[in-house]
């Protein structure tokens, strides 16, 4: 006989249940940040209060009848339990403080009726509700609510003591004991209230100081970010100034080409054949157009580099970026410095602002130029190294001592005269590289040249960045 398959229900772990409950408790739409933190604990307390009181009475009534005179306490406890569950619903709707105030009011009203009916002496056996009123009002609602609740509790105690004083049926000893306990009861709760007041004050002052420090930290971070952007822009302008003479030379070459093509019109006009004359003029105009496009590209490159735009993060190939910088680098170096560019055959994608990348290369190249006043060689190589793109920028210049090398990335540190260097270039390069998760190091010795090694995260296949 075949057995029918048994469908098993997947077990739910306690961690999953508790995680779902904690998420539900934290999801109450409470506006105030402190109240929002208190909301989960208060919801748990109210739900416990709303279920534990009826359960406690059910357990007592299962073994014994209601004691004489305690029916009013039973009704009040059930009413308070129902109100506690109602307050949970209010918190779920975002009315946190009204819900807590309503619950405290219900507790105080319940205590007043119980003290009036049974007296203070009979209530000394269970002081849970009194302590709960003080703790909730102080820790959740604040100092003013704490002392207000304490004053109302004094009125409740007074009602109970008055009931005890009139309870002659229990005998003079009962009345005497009740009145004798009054000062110690009031003093005890006064001490508890004072301690809660001091604790609440300390906690709220600490919270206020922490919030103030947080705001100051945010303001300081904003100031630093603005200063960093200003430094980067200033460095761009400095690098643009270094390129200006080279761009002007290149642009003069463009103008010379245009003049040369414009001069062809005289030769074209001397041609007798109309078709040949037209073809010659057309060729001259095409040459002028190409030269003008080249001049536009030169100026656009400089303007785009110096403009104070926001960062434009993109994925690009380091090989293409370095090769595109070749004309600028040639203009940056004098004829006595030989420029060499070498890159691996595979693509070297990285994910950052391309203008920032060009700024890093130009800053290091400018330092290399200053280190080789008699000429030399500047080499840029780029290869993939595991999950990094390694870029080496080396020169055959004067090199650095160990002392200079130790401070080379510090802001405003420079070995150049103040009129020729700000000491910000390598500091900004260091910050930019670290900001994208890379690193930079320098290898140098006096007379042996300097090599900067930049490692940037490789943004190829398998990364989160799309080309």
> How far is the C-alpha of 314 from the C-alpha of 193, rounded, in Å?
61
Residue where a domain terminates, one of 132, 166, 200: 166
Q: Which residues pair with 341 in a beta bridge?
A: 380
> How far is the C-alpha of 284 from the C-alpha of 269, rounded, in Å?
12
**Mean of the pLDDT values across residues 408-431?**
68
Is residue 221 a part of any domain in this protein?
A: no
Q: What is the pLDDT of residue 258?
A: 66
Q: What is the pLDDT of residue 7?
A: 39
Which structural domain, as residue segments, surrounds residue 50?
Answer: 25-166
> How far is the C-alpha of 286 from the C-alpha of 155, rounded, in Å?
102
Q: What is the pLDDT of residue 17?
A: 78
Is residue 99 a part of any domain in this protein?
A: yes
Phi/psi for 313 (5° steps) reads -70, 130
At 460, list the tokens: 């190829």
Q: What is the pLDDT of residue 335?
A: 83
pLDDT, greater one: 72 or 29 = 29
Q: What is the pLDDT of residue 303?
A: 61
Which range is most confident: 15-19, 278-282, 428-432?
Answer: 428-432
Contacts of 428 (CB under 8 A, 6+ apart): 231, 232, 235, 359, 363
pLDDT, greater one: 88 or 19 = 88
Is residue 410 a part of any domain in this protein?
A: yes
**Mean of the pLDDT values across residues 289-317?**
65
Work out the pLDDT band at 2, boundaries 50, 70, 90: very low
Which range is most confident: 250-264, 279-293, 425-439?
Answer: 425-439
Question: Would you list the DSSP string of 94-155?
Answer: T-HHHHHHHHHHHHHHHHHHHHHHH-HHHHTT--HHHHHHHHHIIIII-HHHHHHHHHHHHH
Is residue 130 a part of any domain in this protein?
A: yes
Q: What is the pLDDT of residue 311?
A: 59
Work out the pLDDT band at 244, boundaries 50, 70, 90: low
SS3 47: helix
pLDDT at position 169 over 80? no
122-126, 252-256, 412-416: the lowest-pLDDT one: 252-256
Q: Which residues pair with 440 in a beta bridge?
A: 454
Q: What is the pLDDT of residue 3?
A: 43
Q: Are 317 and 349 in contact (CB under 8 A)?
A: yes
How many domains would you assign to the chain?
A: 2
Give the containing element (helix H, strand E) for 424.
Answer: none
Is residue 276 a part of any domain in this protein?
A: no
Q: What is the rounded average pLDDT for all residues in the chain?
A: 78
Q: What is the pLDDT of residue 466?
A: 34
pLDDT at position 93 over 60? yes
Q: Are 352 and 389 in contact (CB under 8 A)?
A: no
Is residue 242 a part of any domain in this protein?
A: no
Work out the pLDDT band at 391, boundaries 50, 70, 90: very high
Using alpha carbons, select from 415, 328, 438 the residue that is nearest to residue 367.
415
96-105, 308-317, 398-407: the lowest-pLDDT one: 308-317
34-48, 105-119, 261-275, 381-395: the lowest-pLDDT one: 261-275
At 445, list the tokens: 């010795």
Which range is most confident: 122-136, 170-184, 217-231, 261-275?
Answer: 217-231
Work out the pLDDT band at 456, boundaries 50, 70, 90: very high
At 343, list the tokens: 């890159």
Q: What is the pLDDT of residue 389?
A: 94
Percent of the chain with pLDDT over 70: 73
Contacts of 459 (CB under 8 A, 6+ apart): 315, 349, 350, 351, 465, 467
Give the containing element (helix H, strand E) for 185.
Answer: helix 172-269
At 80, list the tokens: 């308070």
Work out the pLDDT band at 52, boundaries 50, 70, 90: confident
pLDDT digits 0-9 by tens, 171-228: 566 566 666 767 777 888 888 888 888 888 888 788 778 888 888 888 888 888 888 7
Strands 388-395 and 313-317 come out as: unpaired
Work out the pLDDT band at 242, boundaries 50, 70, 90: low
Work out the pLDDT band at 6, boundaries 50, 70, 90: very low
Q: What is the pLDDT of residue 306?
A: 54
Residue where a domain terminates, one of 109, 141, 166: 166
Tokens 């540190």 belong to 413
SS3 272: coil
Tokens 């062809």 belong to 264
pLDDT, greater one: 306 or 312 = 312
20-29, 51-60, 160-169: the lowest-pLDDT one: 160-169
pLDDT digits 0-9 by tens, 354-374: 877 887 888 888 888 888 988
**Mean of the pLDDT values across residues 126-147?**
85
Q: What is the pLDDT of residue 443?
A: 92
Work out the pLDDT band at 467, boundaries 50, 70, 90: very low
Q: What is the pLDDT of residue 380?
A: 94
> How far is the C-alpha of 116 from the C-alpha of 244, rounded, in Å?
94
Is residue 101 a part of any domain in this protein?
A: yes
Q: Are 254 and 377 in contact (CB under 8 A)?
A: no
Work out the pLDDT band at 256, boundaries 50, 70, 90: low
Using alpha carbons, select from 343, 376, 346, 374 the residue that is nearest to residue 361.
343
pLDDT at position 434 over 50? yes
CATH of the domain at 433: 3.30.565.10
Is residue 89 a part of any domain in this protein?
A: yes
Work out the pLDDT band at 333, boundaries 50, 70, 90: confident
> How far is the C-alpha of 162 from the C-alpha of 166, rounded, in Å?
6
Residue where a domain terminates, one of 166, 190, 213: 166
> How far is the C-alpha of 299 from the C-alpha of 305, rounded, in Å?
10
């Amino acid at each position: 006989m075949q057995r029918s398959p048994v469908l098993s229900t997947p077990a739910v772990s306690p961690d999953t249940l508790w995680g779902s409950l904690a998420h539900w408790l934290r999801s109450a739409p409470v506006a105030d940040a402190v109240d929002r933190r208190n909301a989960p604990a208060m919801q748990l307390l109210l739900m416990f209060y709303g279920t534990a009181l009826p359960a406690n009475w059910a357990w007592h009534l299962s073994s014994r009848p209601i004691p004489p005179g305690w029916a009013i306490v039973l009704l009040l406890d059930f009413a308070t339990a129902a109100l506690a569950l109602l307050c949970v619903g209010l918190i779920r709707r975002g009315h946190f403080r009204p819900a807590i105030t309503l619950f405290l009011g219900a507790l105080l009203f319940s205590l007043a009726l119980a003290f009036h009916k049974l007296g203070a002496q009979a209530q000394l056996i269970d002081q849970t509700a009194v302590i709960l009123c003080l703790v909730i009002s102080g820790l959740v609602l604040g100092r003013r609510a704490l002392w207000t609740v304490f004053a109302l509790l004094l009125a409740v105690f007074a009602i109970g003591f008055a009931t005890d004083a009139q309870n002659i049926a229990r005998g003079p000893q009962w009345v005497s004991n009740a009145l004798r306990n009054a000062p110690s009861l009031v003093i005890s709760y006064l001490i508890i209230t004072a301690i809660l007041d001091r604790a609440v004050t300390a906690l709220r002052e600490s919270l206020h100081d922490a919030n103030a420090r947080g705001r100051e930290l945010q303001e300081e971070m904003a100031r630093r970010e603005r200063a960093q952007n200003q430094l980067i822009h200033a460095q761009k302008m400095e690098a643009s100034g270094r390129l200006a003479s080279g761009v002007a030379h290149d642009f003069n070459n463009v103008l010379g080409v245009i003049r040369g093509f414009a001069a062809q019109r005289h030769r074209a006009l001397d041609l007798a054949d109309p078709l040949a004359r037209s073809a010659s003029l057309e060729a001259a105009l095409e040459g002028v157009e190409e030269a003008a496009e080249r001049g536009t590209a030169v100026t656009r490159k400089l303007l785009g580099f110096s403009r104070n735009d926001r960062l434009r993060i993109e994925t690009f190939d380091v090989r293409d970026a370095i090769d595109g910088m070749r004309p600028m680098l040639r203009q940056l170096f004098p004829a006595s410095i030989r420029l060499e560019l070498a890159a691996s055959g595979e693509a070297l994608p990285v994910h950052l602002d391309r203008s920032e990348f060009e700024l890093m290369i130009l800053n290091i190249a400018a330092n290399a130029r200053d280190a080789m006043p008699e000429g030399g060689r500047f080499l840029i190589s780029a290869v993939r190294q595991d999950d990094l793109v390694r870029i080496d920028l080396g020169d055959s210049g004067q090199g650095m001592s160990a002392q200079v090398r130790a401070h080379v990335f510090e802001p405003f540190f420079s070995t150049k005269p103040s009129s020729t260097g700000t000491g910000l270039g390598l500091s900004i390069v260091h910050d930019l590289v670290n900001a994208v998760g890379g690193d930079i190091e320098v290898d140098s010795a006096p007379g042996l040249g300097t090599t900067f090694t930049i490692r940037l995260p490789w943004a190829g296949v398998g990364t989160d960045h799309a080309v």
